[in-house]
Chain A
Amino acid sequence: MALTNIKKEEKEKIVSKDFPEYIREDIKDPGLDESIKKLTPEKIEKVINAVIGKKSSRIKAIIETCMHCGLCAEACQWYLSNDKDPTYAPVAKMRMTIWELINRKGKVDAEFIKQCARIVFTECNICHRCSMYCPFGLDITFIIGMVRRICFLLGVIPQRMFEMNQAFMATLNQVWISQNDYIDALLWREEEGAPEIKDFRIPIDKEGAEVIWFPLAAEPKSGFYHIDRIAKIMQVAGVNWTMCSKDGWDSSNMPMFIRDFVTMQRIVKGLFENTSRLRASRIVLTE
């Protein structure tokens, strides 16, 4: 097949009406396009003032210390991989989101919120590299997180992240696995591993174990072979370990990425409660 024949599809470019430098391809996402139709100026102002109206010490320190020097730019992989486009610099992301929200005192339109959501959700990975490069050590990602929270409270979230968060709200794991299916997956992997190692066990709800292992939700769902591999390693290494059967076993905390504080807290609390219920002394998570 001749690869040269495949034409790269030229997508329509849109220019931001607030910032002429901000030119991006038009990408349709129901999470952004549909949800901004429900927004009203009052609602937007109320949410923005609730989150950043009374500036907390961290927001204050960041906004009032930043000297607009642009030294954080080189840290950002988005900036470097987009030919040093000024609009991808970490400080430019602050300039296009929170500085405007503060300067306009929350009086922005729905289109601006959509643009903010696009910047903070799809053009920043919250990796903290910019903080390592900033001479003042300003936590730019904290600001990005605050803007994500504003977008979350307004319901303007990329659809995929929104659905993932719904899964967490309902089942405390990101792939809609029920407790039955989860236990079933663990027992099945124990069966699968049994022919290879003598007395192979995946201990479930063993009290007083040294290590409790919380997998990622993708492991029982699609990467199930990880479970018996980890179990084999634990067994051969002679670790006194266990897994947990109750909900609150998924260690991936996706609600953190949209700053849904309630669900974030439920997940972490679930892990710690399961650990203390089983009196395990160490938590091991899949990274």
Chain B
Amino acid sequence: MYDFIKDPNFYNLVRGPLVWIAFIIFIAGSIYRVKSLIDLAKKEKVIFPFINLKATLKSIFHWIIPFGSKNWRLRPVITTVTFLFHICLVFTPIFLLSHNLLWYESWGISWWTLPESIADIMTIVVIICCVFFLLRRIFDPTVNFITFSPDVIFIAICFLTFFTGFLAYHQWLLPYNIMLYLHILFGEIMLISIPLTRLTHMFYFFLTRAWMGSQFALWRTKDW
């Protein structure tokens, strides 16, 4: 196993075709998932006539900002952890210097980058939040009752991606290149699993909020 990962061919695989596969599945799969849900919704005659754009935007706005809705305010700890987790999870990979360099080397494009120290802290935040979520799944009886294996696997994927990235950056534990290969591999697994699993919630969030925001607008109340 160790030799297998150390083999340069493995690097060529995870850095070459697997990246293409991961990004194609991620982008095409996500578009397909969103489009198929919208097409399905068009078949149900009661959905689109009731969608209210103003209420939708209001609803999304109130839930996407920290402490913007009633439930976020009622649970400050969860809110803080959730928002830190999601902000760091989404923005660290996009604006990381080394990721940007890869884009630049391959396609000659680049954009803003985060200072290395801040990116490091954001990575640690994601790791700590993953541990928090895992402990919550184990020790909160309400959450434990509804925990299935995929829920733990989602946390594990995020954790391993960021943890291997963190270790590779600091060159701890395993040799740098092996840690890096593992990091790339887990990152690709994460990208692939977004359209294929419930991680699609990053896109469905806007659709489900659109429906419920419009419903509550119809009932002359607000859902935040």
Interface residues in chain A, defined as those with a beta carbon under 8 Å from any beta carbon in chain B: 21, 56-58, 60-62, 64-71, 73-75, 79, 84, 86-87, 89, 91-92, 95, 131-139
Which residues on A sit within 8 Å (CB–CB) of B208?
A: 61-62, 65, 136-138
Given the complex of chains A and B, what is the CA–CA distance between A57 and B40 in angstroms?
5
Which residues on B sit within 8 Å (CB–CB) of A66?
A: 198
A-B contact count (CB 8 A): 111
- Is A68 touching B148 in the complex (CB atoms < 8 A)? yes
Given the complex of chains A and B, what is the CA–CA distance between A139 and B212 in angstroms?
7
- Is A65 touching B200 in the complex (CB atoms < 8 A)? yes
Given the complex of chains A and B, what is the CA–CA distance between A71 and B71 in angstroms?
8
- Is B151 touching A68 in the complex (CB atoms < 8 A)? yes
- Is A56 touching B44 in the complex (CB atoms < 8 A)? yes
Q: For chain B residues 178-221, which have a beta carbon within 8 Å of chain A? A: 198, 200-201, 204-205, 207-209, 211-213, 215-216
- Is A89 touching B142 in the complex (CB atoms < 8 A)? yes
Contacts A67-B151, A92-B142 known; 14 new A-B pairs at CB < 8 A: A57-B38, A60-B40, A61-B211, A64-B198, A64-B204, A68-B146, A70-B142, A70-B146, A74-B75, A91-B146, A131-B212, A132-B216, A132-B224, A136-B208
Which residues on A sit within 8 Å (CB–CB) of B213?
A: 137
Tell me if B147 is interfacial: C-beta within 8 Å of chain A.
yes
- Is B75 touching A71 in the complex (CB atoms < 8 A)? yes
- Is B144 touching A86 in the complex (CB atoms < 8 A)? yes
B122-161 to A contact mask, C-beta < 8 Å, 1/0? 0000000000000000001111111110010010000000
Which residues on B sit within 8 Å (CB–CB) of A135?
A: 63, 71, 82, 205
- Is B223 touching A132 in the complex (CB atoms < 8 A)? yes
- Is A65 touching B198 in the complex (CB atoms < 8 A)? yes
Query: What is the interface of chain A mostly: helix, strand, loop, or mixed?
Result: helix
Please give me the residue from chain B that is nearest to A135 by CB atom: B63
Given the known interface contacts A137-B208, A138-B208, the answer about A57 and B198 at a Cβ–Cβ threshold of 8 Å is no
Given the known interface contacts A58-B44, A60-B40, A92-B145, the answer about A139 and B205 at a Cβ–Cβ threshold of 8 Å is no
Please give me the residue from chain B that is nearest to A71 by CB atom: B71
Partner pick for B71 among A68, A79, A87, A133, CB 8 A cutoff:
A133
- Is B204 touching A131 in the complex (CB atoms < 8 A)? no
Cβ contacts A to B, 30 pairs, < 8 Å: A57-B38, A57-B41, A57-B43, A57-B44, A57-B47, A58-B41, A60-B40, A61-B208, A64-B198, A65-B198, A65-B200, A65-B205, A65-B208, A67-B151, A67-B198, A68-B143, A68-B148, A70-B142, A71-B71, A84-B142, A89-B142, A92-B146, A132-B70, A132-B224, A135-B71, A136-B205, A136-B208, A136-B212, A137-B59, A139-B215
Which residues on B sit within 8 Å (CB–CB) of A74?
A: 71, 74-75
- Is A64 touching B200 in the complex (CB atoms < 8 A)? yes
Which residues on A sit within 8 Å (CB–CB) of B224?
A: 132
B68-96 to A contact mask, C-beta < 8 Å, 1/0? 00110011001000100000000000000
Given the complex of chains A and B, what is the CA–CA distance between A133 and B205 in angstroms?
14
Given the known interface contacts A57-B40, A133-B70, A137-B63, the answer about A70 and B143 at a Cβ–Cβ threshold of 8 Å is yes
Smallest beta-carbon distance A249→chain B, Å: 25
- Is A68 touching B40 in the complex (CB atoms < 8 A)? no
Which residues on B sit within 8 Å (CB–CB) of A21?
A: 145
Smallest beta-carbon distance B104→chain A, Å: 35
Tell me if B37 is interfacial: C-beta within 8 Å of chain A.
yes
Please give me the residue from chain B that is nearest to A56 by CB atom: B44
- Is A95 touching B145 in the complex (CB atoms < 8 A)? yes
- Is B74 touching A137 in the complex (CB atoms < 8 A)? no
- Is B212 touching A73 in the complex (CB atoms < 8 A)? no
Which residues on B sit within 8 Å (CB–CB) of A70?
A: 140, 142-143, 146
Smallest beta-carbon distance A200→chain B, Å: 34
Please give me the residue from chain A that is nearest to B75 by CB atom: A71
Please give me the residue from chain B that is nearest to A89 by CB atom: B142
Which residues on B sit within 8 Å (CB–CB) of A69?
A: 143
Given the complex of chains A and B, what is the CA–CA distance between A131 and B147 in angstroms?
20
Given the complex of chains A and B, what is the CA–CA distance between A229 and B82 in angstroms?
54
Please give me the residue from chain A that is nearest to B150 by CB atom: A68
Partner pick for B201 among A71, A75, A79, A136, CB 8 A cutoff:
A136
Given the complex of chains A and B, what is the CA–CA distance between A135 and B204 in angstroms?
12
Given the complex of chains A and B, what is the CA–CA distance between A143 and B26 in angstroms?
29
Given the known interface contacts A56-B40, A68-B148, A68-B151, the answer about A61 and B204 at a Cβ–Cβ threshold of 8 Å is yes
Smallest beta-carbon distance B86→chain A, Å: 10
Which residues on A sit within 8 Å (CB–CB) of B71?
A: 71, 74-75, 132-135
